[in-house]
Structure 1
């Protein structure tokens, strides 16, 4: 793609690739850029609306267009890497994401911005799943826990840091670009990540020459659209009957997809999703846990950010900076877990982190109740810091335990499903907790609108403590290098 030789693929996961840590930095850099764009619109939306116009539904679709396209494309995007090369699909996805970001930054109308956001989501769905497979081809078993351990904190930091970045950029307003800087920042960052990735990422793909699965693509795309579209639209529209009808219709479509995948696998043709994945206890347990973990985190970030601006009158910059202790806490928790705690405790590190997060969430609720409308960012900082530490501890071992037993030939499919699972959880969490928040806010219960959401999030994090028992105590070393 760049005219330079493609770095040779490592002969197997048991062999260390020379530039593996630098390659990991390139992968994580692209991940951060992609994931930030999923969370920045909440802060940037008022400025976008003031500039481009549009009603509430239009603004909602600036965020929802990305979410829907990203979630629907993840499973197919992951499998394309297995079929045609993970490095190749990573670079295609990154290049497309940068181009779509530029289109967002220069959008002249809401319609152009929404279309560009859909393109961002589709290219992001091609980009994100490739990282896991490339990592398993580069790192020996002894180093995989640390490599995988970087993923959870990065995703948590991106979820929390998005509003901070958006608030700072809009307040800074370089070149009088306003909200456009949120998207245009991706261009230089993405080009730098592309140059690094093109130079050092090794190529890897599934063994043999599996053929694409167009019927599987159609079925899974239709099924996920039927499921996720009403979750995105339902809260804004007041949950009309057709939203529930769509979610019910998703069940037989996804069931038909599952039957098609089993038949294709038995016939010796590569399916989009390997049925064998769901016989791996760590993987299936991780899918269930991920739904709840990412749903509660994303819903909480969404509700708290709105409360700070809509109820307390914080500016975008103030709202973003108020959530900075969260990001600092995640960094601290991830550092401690990544250094030694995650490998020592395994799933118990997830349980410990979730329990600490519960304490921080309840502390945040107590601070909001005690200070009322006069609450300041400083009053919330200690509890948000504790919450972040817990989240960092919980997320760090999540990917290692979930993906350790997945063979390299299936890792693209596995990572696509895992990312789609997280996106589904995040969408559902935002829909459910957002509905609770707006319902209470519109009823005039300003403080209760956020404290009830905090309480529900604390309950969900306690559920995470219990669900962690579905995971093995620690990754099985004999499966880490499978494939």
Structure 2
């Protein structure tokens, strides 16, 4: 029985890794994709953003659909759609078709990711549940930093198309093993809040588009207004898309703020480092990808050590040690050994952070909590790319941009203070 549960957990984490890898997998390979498919240079950021924007926009709705129709069923539909969309990306003959396929890929990924927490809760309880939830953070972090590395190496060795084809056998394996999952849904089947869905999709899209495109900045305040209207509407509707009870304490809002800031730094650094190498030092795609290897290795090692040794002994306070290591690595130049230090900090942070953030989420809040946390992660990544990448491409020195990243990391540490009690509340 225990072995079956662990196998089911492996299925869920594999699907999560596969989906999150694709959020960053063409960051290093973007110029090679553009050279092969031609088209305007403005297409390059959209090879990534066409995935992350629909992903962020539909995550909250994806979480609610799992509550309504069953999380295992929604998970399987999402994985099947992801496999088909990945295949379409791999064979795309033109940039516009690739961008369209990436958008579909991101939208169906939003059906997969929010189901993970609920399905883990259906499999485990007690200390085993805490350990299983603690595995989500390392997978999310390691997937995010491994994406550019994998994409760059596959592009150099084979073709950028291979970066999408690897999803096909992985996705099929996940579908075959998904029979291990136990169906799970909200105890009282909620209705889909159509008005809330339209508002959150519109508001998130209006915020995300100008950050990615670097134009139409007037959409930012419009997006903020729409999301304020969404918040008011959620308090008044009988079947809210986001459970209002998540905001009755300081813990979950603190988790959202911390996630936004932390993933802005993580994703922004993963763009800044390859840009600095390729544009500033003339490095090729393989060199740029391999430079991120110390960061990935540091994150993998520290995630395991934090989960096995540090968090059981010291609890959520380990988060601050992780952020201190990250700041130290950034200020040391985020290059070579300093990148390994950044990775150690990221892994040391993610395990206690996600454990504390999700510790007391109740069953009926699971879909909303998962959708919100993942949506904020993607928006944070978009913010990091827009801010750190935009500053560097706009002529700001790499040293100054790294100073901004260090400041955002300090802000993340302040944001997660309410999570620092042992119960994360």
User: Structures share a fold, TM > 0.5?
Assistant: yes
**8 Å contact 1:105–1:180 — kept in the other structure?**
yes
Aligned match of 2:270 in 296, 301, 306? Answer: 301
Aligned match of 1:426 in 381, 387, 404? Answer: 381
Aligned 1:271-290 pairs, distance under 5 A: 271-290=240-259
- Secondary structure of residue in 1 paired with 2:346: helix
**8 Å contact 1:36–1:161 — kept in the other structure?**
yes
Aligned match of 1:451 in 382, 399, 402? Answer: 399
1:400 aligned residue: 355
Alignment of 1:49 onto 2:34:
yes
Q: RMSD of aligned C-alpha atoms?
A: 1.6
CA distance in 2 between counterparts of 1:111 and 1:438 reads 24
1:247-270 CA distance string (max 9 Å, x none): 111222112211221112xx3xx3
**40-49 or 325-334, larger mean C-alpha shift:** 40-49
- How many residue pairs are counted as aligned between the two chains? 425
CA distance in 1 between counterparts of 2:227 and 2:133 reads 29
Alignment of 1:263 onto 2:241:
no
1:215 aligned residue: 195
Alignment of 1:231 onto 2:211:
yes
1:264-317 CA distance string (max 9 Å, x none): 2xx3xx311011111133211111111111111111111111111111121111
1:183 aligned residue: 164
CA distance in 2 between counterparts of 1:254 and 1:127 reads 24
CA distance in 2 between counterparts of 1:342 and 1:464 reads 19
CA drift of 1:84 comes to 0.6
1:347 aligned residue: 316
**8 Å contact 2:119–2:183 — kept in the other structure?**
yes
1:371-393 CA distance string (max 9 Å, x none): xxxxxxxxx43211111111100
* Structure 2 unaligned blocks of 5 or more: none
* Structure 1 unaligned blocks of 5 or more: 1-15, 366-379, 442-447
**36-45 or 76-85, larger mean C-alpha shift:** 36-45
CA distance in 2 between counterparts of 1:290 and 1:332 reads 21
CA distance in 2 between counterparts of 1:271 and 1:468 reads 26
- Secondary structure of residue in 2 paired with 1:384: helix
**8 Å contact 1:351–1:464 — kept in the other structure?**
no
CA distance in 1 between counterparts of 2:266 and 2:20 reads 14
Alignment of 1:61 onto 2:46:
yes
CA distance in 1 between counterparts of 2:96 and 2:353 reads 38
CA distance in 2 between counterparts of 1:200 and 1:399 reads 24
TM-score relative to the length of structure 2: 0.97
**61-70 or 181-190, larger mean C-alpha shift:** 61-70
- Secondary structure of residue in 1 paired with 2:365: helix
1:96 aligned residue: 81
Alignment of 1:384 onto 2:365:
no
CA drift of 1:472 comes to 4.0
Aligned match of 1:416 in 368, 371, 375? Answer: 371
**8 Å contact 2:67–2:189 — kept in the other structure?**
no
Aligned match of 1:315 in 284, 295, 298? Answer: 284
CA distance in 1 between counterparts of 2:140 and 2:389 reads 21
CA distance in 2 between counterparts of 1:356 and 1:430 reads 21
CA distance in 1 between counterparts of 2:189 and 2:171 reads 31
Aligned 1:108-257 pairs, distance under 5 A: 108-173=93-158, 178-197=159-178, 199-234=179-214, 239=215, 242-243=216-217, 245-257=218-230
- Secondary structure of residue in 2 paired with 1:209: coil
CA drift of 1:18 comes to 6.3
2:414 aligned residue: 466
CA drift of 1:209 comes to 2.4
**8 Å contact 2:257–2:412 — kept in the other structure?**
no
**8 Å contact 1:351–1:465 — kept in the other structure?**
yes
CA distance in 1 between counterparts of 2:208 and 2:291 reads 30
1:338 aligned residue: 307
CA distance in 2 between counterparts of 1:64 and 1:44 reads 14
CA distance in 2 between counterparts of 1:280 and 1:148 reads 21
1:13 aligned residue: none
CA drift of 1:154 comes to 1.3
Moved over 4 A (4+): none
- Secondary structure of residue in 2 paired with 1:253: helix
**8 Å contact 1:280–1:405 — kept in the other structure?**
no
CA drift of 1:45 comes to 1.4
1:182-231 CA distance string (max 9 Å, x none): 1111101111111112x201110001222111111111111111111111
Aligned match of 1:77 in 29, 40, 62? Answer: 62
TM-score relative to the length of structure 1: 0.85
**8 Å contact 1:400–1:475 — kept in the other structure?**
no
